């Protein structure tokens, strides 16, 4: 389980963000309200996460 990620915001869009955490790039799906509250890249952010397991794959 991944409870949260803290790292540098690389890019963001209304549907997902790319967060670099110690050299690894995580693609994280976000809600529109979360996206609107994010600072402009590059900025350090902390995002609380949940893992969603579906037939098509695993998403953060």
Whole-number Å distance between alpha carbons of 12 and 2: 20
CATH value at residue 41: 2.40.50.140
Whole-number Å distance between alpha carbons of 29 and 18: 9
* Neighbouring-strand partners of residue 21: 24
**Count of structural domains, the chain:** 1
- Is residue 60 over pLDDT 80? no
* Residue of 1 and 37 predicted with greater confidence: 37
Which residues constitute the domain of residue 33? 4-59
Each residue's pLDDT tens digit, 20-59: 999 999 999 999 999 999 999 999 999 999 888 989 888 8
């Amino acid at each position: 389980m991944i409870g949260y990620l803290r790292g540098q915001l690389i890019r963001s869009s209304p549907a997902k963000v790319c967060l670099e955490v110690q050299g690894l790039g995580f693609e994280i799906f976000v809600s529109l309200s979360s996206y609107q509250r994010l600072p402009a890249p590059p900025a350090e952010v902390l995002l609380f996460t949940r893992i969603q397991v579906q037939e098509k794959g695993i998403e953060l």
